[in-house]
Amino acid sequence: MHPSCALIVWLAAVLALPAFGYIGSLALAAVLLLASGGLLRPWWSMVRRVRWLLLTLWLILAYNVPGEAFADLPWAPTYEGIAAASLHALRLIVMLGCLAWLFHRLGRDGLVSALWGLLHPCRALGLDTERLVVRLSLVLDNLQTEREKGAWRRMLGAATLPAEGPASLHLALPRWAMRDSLLAGLVAAGLLAVLCA
């Protein structure tokens, strides 16, 4: 699969996910797990990183959706709130799975190449896509670099930041094949069907 096609598939899955209920979200999660082996560990790592966000989102939705109180307790969230909060938390977990699939499938260099390939036609409109791709590459490099505790304080206190990162960026982009066009067309038609339903 062409890296840009993988990025299109990821984008379509993320855009379609809010329209899915429990069954659709779980089916997408099953497809992700079956499509690529070794995805569970990075997916679980992402879920662990956002566990407090998930809990906060769940509590806010559970307590702010009107309805009948759980077990008629005055301090408890509503049944409707629990259902809405659980569905949104599941969607967020599946969205993290889609992101883990994209990183697992492409890696850092593949993701940068995919974005460059997808944005390349925008150069005809006068957009500076190379600058965007280079900046994304630097951000991804920075995210992968392990920093010592409290390093952000030194970065904020410094008058100028040290120039880090590679001096040049080399992209390897395979040729777009007919199967990539078919898959992109199928994904676009599926997304349109989900959003229009």
Side chain identity, residue 22? Y
pLDDT at 17: 93
- Candidates 120, 130, 121; CA nearest to 168 is 130
Q: Is the pTM of this model over 0.85?
A: no
Q: In terms of DSSP H, where are the helices of 50-78?
A: 51-64
Q: Write out the two tokens for 141.
A: 């490099």
Average pLDDT of the chain, as a whole number: 84
- pLDDT of 29 reads 93
Torsion angle in degrees (nearest 10) through CA of 181, 184, 185, 190: 160
Residue 174, both tokens: 């395979």
CA atoms within 13 A on the CB side of 30: 6
Nearest alpha-carbon partner for 44 in 93, 104, 106, 85: 93
Q: Helix (H, G, I), strand (E, B), or coil: what is residue 141?
A: helix
- Are the beta carbons of 47 and 93 closer than 8 angstroms? yes
Tens of pLDDT, residue by residue over 25-62, are 999 999 999 988 888 999 999 899 899 999 999 999 99
Q: What pLDDT is recorded for position 127?
A: 78
> Which residue carries 């598939």 as its tokens?
9
Q: Max alpha carbon distance in the chain (Å)? A: 64
Predicted local distance difference test score (pLDDT) of residue 94:
95
Task: Tell me how many degrees the CA angle 105-109-114 measures, rounded to the nearest 5.
Answer: 70
**What is the spatial distance between Cα 140 and Cα 197, in angstroms, rounded to a whole number?**
36
pLDDT reported for residue 118: 84
For residue 158, the model assigns a pLDDT of: 64
So what's the pLDDT on residue 58?
Answer: 94
The helix/strand/coil state of 76 is coil
Taking CA atoms, 57 is separated from 49, 76, 143, in Å, by 14, 16, 25
Low-confidence ranges of the chain (pLDDT < 50): none
CA nearest 8: which of 191, 135, 194? 191
- Separation between Cα atoms, residue 191 and residue 35, nearest integer Å: 19
Whole-number pLDDT of residue 21: 92
